[in-house]
Chain A
Amino acid sequence: MAVSADDTTAVRPTPSAVTVPARPGGRWKSWCAVAVVVLITAITLSPQWGIDFSLVAIARNWQNGTDKILLLLVPDWGFFPRTVPALAETLQMAVIATAVAAAVSLPLSLATARLTNPNAITRGIARTVLNVVRSIPDLLYAAILVAMVGVGALPGIIALLLFNVGIIVKMVSESIEANDPGALEAGRAAGGTQLQINRSAALPDILPSFVNQTLYVLELNVRASSVLGLVGAGGLGLLIDAVRTFYRYDQLSLIIVEILIIVMALDVLSNAVRRRLV
């Protein structure tokens, strides 16, 4: 059972005679994975089974494409006043959805992580619901919700909310599992309930990850909410749909510039917040 102290002082072999232990097998697995990826790519490109796309079409229509790009390069600045209400609506949708999603996601993140919710049944239910929520794309949520509650910002906000909760909960819950469980163990040893332990020992450690994900989702929302309007869910998208229909690429260009500026501003803002908090 016990190792005798003499064993550790046994004579070592000379460097020239080192015996390297046999390398473990299983390296073929990574080659198999590469082969499968190559095979699937080949199948998708093949004429019989693959999707129908050809570079020839791009070459044939390049003239057409160049015209559009030239139009996009010259934004119609005079269009700006008409974009302001839609822009404001997009920002409102993004901010409201982010705030509500953050508030809902924090308890849900704690409920889906094993360390903060040891109860397998409630954890399983929470995880299943979130997997379903996450598997549906935001545009599909918007389309369904527009049919249910009518055209406007509300279906857009609900669609963004569902989309956001899926993202925040997944990322934060993973960061909880990656954290050191020591503090939680100490909370349990001091006689705390799970809720008390989560608040006093788990929350401080997951706060940076939570703030990060929330800021990231805010940025996603500005971009996503401009697309949701295409199916009638409010914001810039409605305007994009209108100018696109009339081939006003100069006006579309202005809208793209506006989104770009907002996303860049959000990036600066979130970096500042992150530096303070993390």
Chain B
Amino acid sequence: MVVEHTSTPIAPSPWSVSMRDVSVRYASGVVALKNVSLDIEPGEMVSVVGLSGSGKSSLIRTINGLVPLTSGSLHVGGFQLETARAGELRRLRGHIGMIFQGFNLAKRTSVLNNVLVGRLAHTTTLRTLLGAYRASDRQIAFEALERVGILPKVWDRASSLSGGQQQRVAIARALCQQPRLVLADEPVASLDPPTAHEVMGDLRRINQELGITVITNLHLIDLARRYGTRIIGLRAGEVVFDGAVEAATDEVFAEIYGRSVASEDALGL
């Protein structure tokens, strides 16, 4: 199949994120984020690190409104999240690609149908119900698949793919949104080391070639340093470090993790 590249870049203009004293408290009473203030500039590639339970997923989910903030203010793109209504939140999410640790594909349907989920916010309900996506949307899906090198699998069932291939499909789904911001929650935690590096490389290319802002949750130090330009350290829901990769020494990581750095904190390779 020949996919013609349109000359328009996938990201029209990347988004910034601005958090002021954001706290998140779940119904269970757990406080996942405490007075977090952050400014992420358009086009940045940020690694968010911290131990399991430190609030990394909560931070990322607050940014696309999957988790409501309890207090504080959050500005993403042109949206003010603490006051956004349901329809506005959907439009916001339409511009933000999200990548998950478990890939989150519909396993029994084709790769193409999974990638087209990225067009939902730009497709009418009637077209979705009939499965009649516009030809232009399909074209965007094909291009997204080609960008992550998995176009030959377009008609395969998602469940027939390997873990690394499934995560690439998930990245293509995010790209298919033509996102202004990409959020990745432990994107390589379920992958073997060589595949992990390939997938992290895909995310870096999205940032460098398309200029999209990318925020990635990671718990491995070497991946965070290698693929981010800025590191944000979370500990028990609070930002305990925020700076350039060069400044994030082993001592800084020991502070973020609340213990000395050990070999299992790195992927190796």
Residues of A at the B interface (CB closer than 8 Å) are 1-5, 180, 182-183, 185-193, 195-197, 199-202, 204-205, 207-208
Contacts and interface: CB of A to CB of B under 8 A. Distances in A.
Contacts of A191: 90-96, 120-121, 177
A139 to B, nearest CB: 37
B94 A190 contact: yes
Interface string B93-121: 11111101011111111000110111011
Contacts of A1: 236, 258
Contacts of B174: 190
Contacts of B96: 189, 191
A183 B106 contact: yes
A192 B129 CA distance: 12
A190 B104 contact: no
A185 B118 contact: no
A102 B130 CA distance: 18
Contacts of A5: 259-260, 262
Interface of B: 51, 64, 66, 90-98, 100, 102-109, 113-114, 116-118, 120-121, 123, 125, 128-129, 131, 170, 173-174, 177, 236, 257-260, 262
Contacts of B123: 196
Given A196-B128, A197-B120, A205-B106, A186 B93 contact: no
A189 B125 contact: no
A163 B102 CA distance: 39
Contacts, number: 103
A182 B100 CA distance: 9
Contacts of B121: 190-192
A190 B118 contact: yes
B93 A185 contact: no
A204 B128 contact: no
A185 B120 contact: no
A22 B97 CA distance: 48
Contact of A195 (B104, B129, B257): B129
Contacts of B258: 1-2
Given A200-B120, A204-B113, A186 B259 contact: no
B102 A182 contact: yes
Nearest to B176: A190
A200 B90 contact: no
Given A191-B94, A191-B95, A193-B125, 13 more contacts: A2-B257, A182-B100, A183-B117, A188-B93, A189-B64, A190-B97, A190-B98, A191-B96, A192-B121, A196-B129, A197-B120, A199-B128, A207-B108
A186 B106 CA distance: 9
A187 B117 CA distance: 6
Nearest to A5: B262
A3 B116 contact: no
A200 B116 contact: yes
22 contacts: A2-B258, A5-B259, A183-B105, A185-B100, A186-B98, A186-B100, A186-B105, A190-B117, A190-B120, A190-B174, A190-B177, A191-B93, A191-B94, A191-B120, A192-B121, A193-B120, A200-B120, A200-B128, A204-B106, A204-B107, A205-B108, A207-B108
A190 B173 contact: yes
A188 B259 CA distance: 37
Contacts of A185: 66, 100, 104
